[in-house]
């Protein structure tokens, strides 16, 4: 009996040591997201989590709640935890500098997702080509309405690379297609703000017949504003979220310039893995875009 107990004890001890060694061996990555109050970034997180599990990493995900000071505090926390790499989706391309430099100072490699950073050392930026996406939106509006299109643009959060680049692409495309941009105003990538801003802009610009919203959340707010105003508008969003695509299929949203947030998250983790394996990374890793329309 004692021999059996000793054998069981030895087996349990061996299993415990094996599990403990596995836990020590499992490296930790981190992902700092601008906000998880947006379906796009939730999907991006899910893509990162699935790839981390596949590659055997623990992934810590922290929400910055669109607050640069919270973002910095999150990165400070992660430097103390000793993570191997940080994937950051910046709240603001300038404000993220402090967080990235903190990681740099602690020799933790940084990769940016969807939104870039203006300063600090970044191993790679994984994102869609936002400039090309803005151009696609302008081309779609021109194809549907011709040069008679009178467009209102709803901009994202000022200071983010996504808003700047999508706006640049749309401006270039609108100029090339001779579209008339009546007004362009920030609505901070937010659905309620998108609705409120467009309601006010429609009063000031009653001849508008098209809207380009720099993300699907604002586009869905624009759909509500158009309905409330009794106007038939060609509305184009950006991101290709599940809800945005569903509303396109219901023929209430004309189109969305579809990103692949799940792939952005997955590529972020895969790229961090490559980096930790000593492999070189491209400075920019593009993720394809496509137009989803009625």
Residue range 202-219, pLDDT digits in tens: 999 999 999 999 999 999
pLDDT of residue 149: 96
**Residue 24, pLDDT above cutoff 70:** no
pLDDT of residue 30: 98
pLDDT of residue 148: 84
pLDDT of residue 231: 95
Question: What single string gives the DSSP state of each residue in the chain?
Answer: -HHHHHHHHHHHHHHHHHHHHHHHHS-EEEEEES-SSSHHHHHHHHHHHHHHHHHT-EEEEEE-TT-HHHHHHHHHHHHHHT-SEEEE--SSTTTHHHHHHHHHHTT--EEEESS--SSS--SEEEEE-HHHHHHHHHHHHHHHHGGG-EEEEEE--TT-HHHHHHHHHHHHHHHHTT-EEEEEEE-TT-HHHHHHHHHHHHHH-TT--EEEESSHHHHHHHHHHHHHHT---EEEEEE--HHHHHHHHTTSS-EEEE--HHHHHHHHHHHHHHHHTT----SEEEE--EEEE-
pLDDT of residue 22: 41
**Residue 54, pLDDT above cutoff 80:** yes
Residue range 123-169, pLDDT digits in tens: 999 999 999 999 999 999 999 999 889 999 999 999 898 999 999 99
pLDDT of residue 14: 46
Residue range 205-259, pLDDT digits in tens: 999 999 999 999 999 999 999 999 999 999 999 999 999 999 999 999 999 999 8
Residue range 73-127, pLDDT digits in tens: 999 999 999 999 999 999 999 999 999 999 999 999 999 999 999 999 999 999 9
Please give the share of the chain, as a percent, with pLDDT higher than 90.
88
pLDDT of residue 33: 98
pLDDT band (50, 70, 90) for residue 288? confident
Q: What is the pTM of this model?
A: 0.76
**Residue 10, pLDDT above cutoff 90:** no
């Amino acid at each position: 009996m004692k021999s059996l107990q000793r054998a069981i004890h030895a087996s349990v001890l061996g299993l415990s040591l094996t599990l403990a060694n596995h836990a020590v061996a499992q490296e930790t990555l981190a992902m700092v997201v601008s906000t998880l109050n947006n379906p796009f970034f939730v999907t991006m997180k899910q893509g990162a989590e699935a790839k981390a599990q596949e590659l055997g990493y623990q992934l810590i995900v922290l929400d910055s709640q669109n607050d640069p000071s919270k973002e910095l505090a999150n990165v400070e926390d992660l430097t103390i935890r000793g993570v191997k790499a940080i994937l950051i989706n910046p709240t603001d391309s300038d404000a993220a500098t402090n967080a990235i430099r903190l990681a740099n100072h602690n020799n933790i490699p940084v990769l940016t997702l969807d939104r870039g950073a203006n300063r600090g050392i970044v191993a790679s930026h994984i994102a869609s080509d936002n400039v090309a996406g803005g151009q696609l939106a302008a081309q779609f509006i021109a194809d549907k309405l011709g040069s008679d299109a009178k467009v209102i643009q709803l901009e994202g959060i000022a200071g983010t690379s996504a808003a700047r680049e999508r706006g640049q692409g749309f401006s270039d495309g609108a100029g090339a297609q001779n579209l008339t941009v009546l007004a362009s105003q920030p609505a901070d990538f937010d659905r309620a703000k998108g609705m409120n801003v467009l309601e006010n802009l429609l009063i000031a610009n009653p001849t508008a017949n098209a809207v380009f919203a720099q993300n699907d959340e604002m586009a869905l707010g624009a759909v509500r504003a158009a309905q409330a105003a009794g106007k038939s508008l060609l509305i184009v969003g950006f991101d290709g979220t599940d809800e945005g695509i569903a509303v396109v299929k219901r023929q209430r949203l004309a189109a969305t310039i579809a990103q692949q947030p799940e792939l952005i998250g997955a590529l972020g983790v895969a790229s961090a893995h490559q980096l930790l394996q000593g492999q070189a990374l491209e400075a920019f890793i593009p993720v394809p875009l496509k137009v989803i329309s009625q």
